[in-house]
């Protein structure tokens, strides 16, 4: 009788590659660096591909005590930025055999309900983007590794990954100062979050040392309608600012609407800047000068940090660089 076909095993891969089963386990478990050579790792991968070998993830997960599932908690799904964060995190997760469950906090920033009967048994870790420090108590419990995105490095969490928001504010401020703007309005997000505190603090510090400079602040919910209302009030003054620095692109779009209701021309009468570089930034006219935040890289770095924590390694250090994209919404201040 013909022999029934069987699935290749790690022993078969080891024999084909001329290595030990332990080496196969290291390579296919992505733990080979520093333990076997790159040439050996490549040989193992080629042998596995040739044989059509697929590791038994269920057995390996049971042996390691892992579910290979992580939770990504974001404030909302209303902007493409958080979709980019998810895309980046899921890409890295898939490369390491992990899945990512996306969970928007019901209140945006605030306590998040546990979406699992027992998160500690269902998850290996949590990545939380732009959340208040106490928002994850129900999900994290006392056991799960936690990587915080866009958060105070001194706060809770096993590791923190941040964009260099402070440098982004410096780039925006220097750009407007070079254009001669000295009377500036900060349209700030009315959200109690570390990232927005950094923006306000850096802006005040940057402009505080420039003689003859005035900085005013107006607050708005993160919405175009809310920004339009807040900007309309802030711009309806006898001594109007010549430039508005907005905490994000949605606030900038609302400021555009307010300016036009007041009969102001952008950028001749008023320069406007944003932060994020969403698709919205090039959909409005004139196109928006804004700080580009690489959302996908942000998500990638967050997932890489969590993987490092799970492997008891040190995550990559240093904030992610951001870049000012100068477009048509800024021009020299009118004297």
| Banded model confidence at residue 233, pLDDT cuts 50, 70, 90 | very high
Which CATH number applies to 67-163+295-314: 3.40.50.2300, 3.90.15.10, 3.30.9.10, 3.40.50.620? Answer: 3.40.50.2300
Q: Which residue has the tokens 């905490």?
A: 247
Helical segments of the chain, H only: 10-17, 21-28, 38-51, 57-64, 80-95, 119-122, 137-140, 165-178, 194-208, 224-235, 249-261, 280-283, 295-310
Kindly write down the DSSP assignment for every residue of 111-139, as one continuous string: ----SSS-HHHH-SEEEEES--TTTTHHH
Architecture of domain 10-55: Orthogonal Bundle (1.10)
**Is pLDDT of 59 > 50?**
no
Higher pLDDT, 324 or 131: 324
Asked if residue 124 lies in contact with residue 143, where contact means CB atoms within 8 angstroms, the answer is no
Cβ count within 10 A of residue 231 = 28
Q: How confident is the model at residue 236 (pLDDT cuts 50, 70, 90)?
A: very high
Model confidence pLDDT, tens digit, residues 111-135: 555 555 555 556 888 888 765 445 5
- For the segment(s) 165-294, the CATH number from 3.40.50.2300, 3.30.1330.180, 2.60.40.1930, 3.30.1330.60 is 3.40.50.2300
Handedness of CA 100, 146, 221, 320 (dihedral sign): negative
pTM exceeds 0.75, yes or no: yes
Summarised one tens digit per residue, pLDDT across range 171-185 is: 999 999 999 999 999
Percent of residues, the chain, with pLDDT higher than 70: 83
54 vs 74: CA distance, rounded Å: 33
Average pLDDT over residues 14-40: 83
What digits encode the pLDDT tens for the residues 65-80?
Answer: 467 888 888 876 667 8
Rg (CA), the chain: 25
Write the DSSP string, 25-41. HHHHTT--TTTS-HHHH
Q: Is the pLDDT of residue 163 over 90?
A: yes
User: CATH 3.40.50.2300 in the chain, residues?
Assistant: 67-163+295-314, 165-294
Work out the angle between the directed axes of helices 165-178 and 194-208 (0-180°, nearest 10).
40
Token digits for 21?
Answer: 């089963």
Secondary structure of residue 329 in the 3-state scheme: coil
Q: Report the pLDDT averaged over residues 25-35.
A: 77
Q: Which two tokens stand for residue 198?
A: 């950094």
């Amino acid at each position: 009788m013909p022999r029934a076909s069987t699935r290749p095993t790690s022993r078969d891969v080891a024999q084909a590659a001329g290595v030990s089963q332990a080496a196969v386990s290291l390579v296919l478990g992505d733990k080979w660096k520093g333990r076997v050579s790159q040439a050996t790792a490549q040989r193992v991968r080629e042998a596995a591909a040739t044989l059509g070998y697929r590791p038994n993830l269920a057995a390996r997960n049971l042996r390691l005590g892992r579910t290979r599932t992580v939770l990504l908690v974001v404030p909302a799904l209303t902007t493409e930025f958080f979709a980019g964060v998810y895309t980046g995190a899921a890409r890295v997760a898939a490369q390491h055999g992990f899945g990512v469950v996306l969970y928007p906090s019901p209140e945006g920033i605030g306590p998040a309900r546990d979406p699992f009967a027992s998160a500690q048994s269902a998850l290996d870790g949590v990545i939380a983007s732009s959340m208040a420090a106490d928002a994850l108590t129900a999900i994290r419990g006392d056991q799960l590794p936690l990587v915080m995105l866009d958060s105070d490095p001194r706060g809770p969490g096993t590791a923190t990954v941040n964009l260099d928001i402070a440098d982004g504010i410096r780039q925006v401020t220097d750009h407007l100062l070079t254009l001669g703007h000295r009377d500036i309005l900060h349209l700030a997000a009315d959200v109690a979050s570390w990232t927005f505190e950094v923006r306000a603090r850096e802006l005040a510090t940057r402009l505080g040392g420039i003689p003859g400079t005035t900085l005013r602040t107006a607050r708005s919910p993160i919405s175009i309608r809310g920004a339009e209302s807040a900007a309309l009030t802030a711009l309806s003054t006898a001594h109007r600012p010549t430039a508005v620095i907005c905490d994000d692109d949605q606030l900038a779009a609302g400021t555009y609407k307010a300016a036009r209701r007041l009969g102001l021309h952008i950028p001749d009468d008023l320069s406007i800047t944003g932060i994020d570089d969403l698709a919205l930034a090039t959909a409005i006219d004139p196109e928006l000068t804004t700080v580009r935040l690489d959302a996908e890289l942000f998500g990638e770095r967050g997932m890489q940090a969590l993987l490092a924590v799970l492997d008891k390694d040190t995550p990559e250090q240093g904030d992610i660089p951001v870049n000012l994209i100068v477009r048509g919404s800024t021009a020299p201040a009118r004297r």
